[in-house]
Chain A
Amino acid sequence: MQEHDMSWVRTEMTLAQTAPRSQVGPGAWIRRSLFSTPTDSVMTILAALVVAWALPQILNWLFFSAIWSGADRTACLTTEQGGQLPAGWSGACWPFVTSRFGQFMFGRYPLEERWRPILTGIIFVALIVPLMIPRAPFKRLNAILFFVVFPFIAFFLLVGGAFGLRFVETPLWGGLLVTLVISYVGIVTSLPIGILLALGRRSKMPAVKLLSVVFIETVRGVPLVVVLFMASFMLPLFVPPGVTFDKLLRALIGVALFSSAYMAEVIRGGLQAIPKGQYEGADSLGLGYWQKMGLIVMPQALTLVIPGIVNSFISLFKDTTLVLIISMFDLLGVVKQNISGDPTWATPQTAKTGYVFAAAVFWIFCFGMSRYSQYMERRLDTGHKR
């Protein structure tokens, strides 16, 4: 049979060919991403020039020319300023940061009691890390420990005054400790209160709805600075003389109320994105209001608005720096205080070094939050990727 000799039928599959050399590898990536059009090429070259101009200077200032050890300002002064370094020198003065590191972390928390915030920090990390790893077991127990038990442990460790611990009043607190305390309280309280307010605003009960709307719109209508100012300056004049509320507590309440109002609106956005069919489906299954919300609507709504929620958390974390105006010293406040108030470290480089350090710490925390939220989004697949 002649037909059989005609080998037009493949007897075996062709092997997958590697992509053409011009389409793979770093060379192709560069061509495709950086030089695909003349405009792109120009932009790439300009950007590269800027980087080549700035990066060596920045690295030089941060690391290569920087001073790493010293006892006081003379370590970071040039000969014409009364120090040892060559004229025209410019670099970071890191011994300023190392000598004040304890203050940047804990403020003026007594030296011999600093193990307490450190222990609190260790417990915090030990609880939050397994909570954030989806595979880790005992999620429910872990969550209860973190959200319910931990605040009490932290309160007693940090404040003291019981169990033989010395009482450490809050004006002594400062630095990263205050930043984290305010952020933690703001984050942990704003989510549940925000959920309730969001549900209240969409409620069919007029009183609940009105209260929620009035609260949200009032709080969102004033800047956080005003809330803090009111709490700090007006409140003492209204209460009977001789009674003062703790300043940190005032700040915590202000921040918690403020962030709850914003959180409520973020969550309401998520609720509005849930199709009506979901609500009706839950109703037809005979679920009650709280079951419907807790089992059907909220899980979908919350996963939808993860970026918005994390956005609120990040801005809350950064807003904690505003407590400086009521004379509480968060990380930035302590850095500022040491720059402006301390002649032993007054040099032309001190301020820059201090602010760079503060910026780096804030960046680490905010970037961490942002990356984790992106990971959660991918895991929960809320982006509706194709």
Chain B
Amino acid sequence: MKHIAISVLGAAAAIGLMASAASADTLSDVKAKGFVQCGVNTGLAGFSAPNDKGEWTGIDVDFCRAVAAAVFGDGTKVKFTGLSAKDRFTALQSGEIDILSRNTTWTINRDTALGLNFAGVTYYDGQGFMINSKKLPGVNSALQLSGAAICVQSGTTTELNLADYFKANKMEYNPVVFEKFEEANAAYDAGRCDAYTTDQSGLYAVRLQMSSPNDHVVLPEIISKEPLGPSVRQGDDKWLDIVKWTYFALLNAEEAGVTQANVDEMKNSDNPDIKRLLGSEAETKIGTDLGVSNDWVVNIVKATGNYGEIFERNVGQGSPLKIARGINALWTKGGLQYGMPIR
């Protein structure tokens, strides 16, 4: 009887009052509780969404798995909290989550006033345009959209960026504003607008829902900067380092050609860069200085693959979205993704 009473109290306490870490040493707290608590989008194609089995998938999700692999050597030791755009910062500030990996744009306001620290840019996004090539044949640049009717969601920065862009280029346009994303989609599909504007990654997802997806073309112009990346609480440099270098490790692994499939062979490589990266150098201290084990990069790549693999699997050619690497390619291939050297 006493046991039952104790377990009643225990379970009630567990559900009622879940103490979580908000102290300055997130790494110790994370190690003590045994998992990384990660805040992700509640549902954004390619970035974070549950699959058939209810497991989270997406770039933002895989990044959290990579951090868990770096800390624990096990990419499954992570728990996800779905967050709306409104409650994401509160969740991080109050210590409900350890990392916010929820397609969040890196801005100075968020970095300073909101008390976040961004660890890197896992996806360079930006606002773009999509047109129906059957309806507007010959248009291959946003600068040809003068006088066009453009579907846009109201109350977002998207709407402001659109106005700025057309004003700056001295063009006329006719905004067709919708309250909800779904309404804007339907109106564009029905031909009420000539073009549709939102973040480019979103345009690819919208295109899949069109009645004739192949007719729709995403124009090359990007009219705003939306660098999306993971962030942590300010004032915990050690934890920031781990998150930041997990991101760089993913990039360096891709640059060195280390993949999920060949990571075990690569450990025997003679290339000093790869040896340093994978911690197979004798008496290396790179991992332990960071506060994790020396084979941390091996664990990361085994859990999620390198950055390129994460990209292709979730939003690239291995997914229905089929987004091109573009500016998210490595710097060696003309993109912006540049991993700081691990040495």
Q: Which residues of A, 321-358, contact B by the 8 Å Cβ criterion?
A: 325-327, 329, 333, 336-344, 346-348, 350-351
Instruction: Tell whether B16 is near chain A: CB-to-CB under 8 Å.
Output: yes
The 0/1 profile, CB within 8 Å of A marked 1, for residues 1-31 of chain B is 0001001101100111111111100000000
* Contact A341-B19, Cβ < 8 Å, known A100-B52, A167-B14, A244-B96: no
Please report the C-alpha to C-alpha distance between residue A44 and residue B314 in the assembled complex, in whole angstroms: 55
**CB of A50 within 8 A of chain B?**
no
Contact check, A337 vs B19: say whether CB atoms are below 8 A apart.
Answer: no
Q: Which of A111, A249, A341 counts the most chain B CB atoms within 10 A?
A: A341
Closest-CB distance, A316 to chain B (whole angstroms):
22
Determine the chain B residues whose CB is within 8 A of the CB of A61 once the complex forms. Answer: none
A341 engages B319 (CB within 8 Å): no
Question: Residues 287-323 of chain A: 1 if any B CB is under 8 Å from the residue's CB, otherwise 0?
Answer: 0000000000000000000000000000000000000
Interface class of chain A by DSSP: helix
Alpha-carbon distance between A237 and B17 when the two chains are bound, in angstroms: 15
In the assembled complex, B211 has its CB within 8 A of some CB on chain A? yes
Q: Give A333's nearest chain B residue, CB to CB.
A: B42
Contact assessment for B210 and A329 in the assembled complex, using a CB-CB cutoff below 8 Å: no
- Residues of B within 8 Å of A346, CB to CB, are 45, 205, 208-209, 320
Chain B residue, CB-CB nearest to A240? B22
CA distance A113 to B208 in the complex (A): 34
**CB distance A348 to B209 under 8 Å?**
yes
In the bound complex, how far is the Cα of B182 from the Cα of A296, in angstroms?
A: 54
Enumerate A229-277 residues with CB–CB distance to B below 8 Å.
232-233, 236-237, 241-246, 248-249
Q: Does B54 contact A (CB under 8 A)?
A: yes
- Residues of A in contact (CB 8 Å), total 57
- On chain B, the residues within 8 Å of A241 by CB distance are 22-23, 94-95
Q: Contact between A343 and B96 (Cβ–Cβ < 8 Å)?
A: no
Contacts of A343 in B (CB 8 A): 45-46, 49, 205, 208, 319-321
Chain A nearest CB, measured from B18 CB (Å): 6
Chain B, interface size category, equals 35 or more
A78 to B87, CA, bound (A): 39
A225 to chain B, nearest CB (A): 12
Q: Would you list which residues of chain B between 176 and 208 have a CB under 8 Å from chain A?
A: 181-182, 189, 205, 208
B42's partner among A78, A100, A327 (CB-CB below 8 A) is A327
The distance from the CB of A114 to the nearest CB of chain B, in whole angstroms, is 10
What is the CA–CA distance of A248 and B16 in the complex, to the nearest angstrom? 9
- For B18, the chain A residues whose CB sits under 8 A away are 169, 244-246
Closest CB in chain B relative to A357 CB, distance in Å: 16
Chain A residue, CB-CB nearest to B4: A162
Q: How far is the CA of A338 from the CA of B50 in the complex (A)?
A: 7
A341 and B42 contacting across the interface, CB-CB below 8 Å: yes
Of the 9-residue stretches B77-85, B125-133, B241-249, B291-299, which lies at the interface with chain A?
Answer: B77-85
In contact, B90 and A237 (Cβ under 8 angstroms)? yes
- A/B interface sample: 20 pairs, CB < 8 A: A78-B211, A103-B50, A159-B11, A159-B14, A161-B10, A162-B8, A171-B81, A232-B87, A243-B17, A244-B95, A245-B16, A246-B18, A248-B15, A339-B43, A342-B43, A344-B52, A346-B45, A346-B320, A348-B211, A351-B182
The 7 closest A-B pairs by CB, nearest first: A341-B43, A341-B49, A162-B7, A346-B208, A337-B43, A236-B94, A241-B22
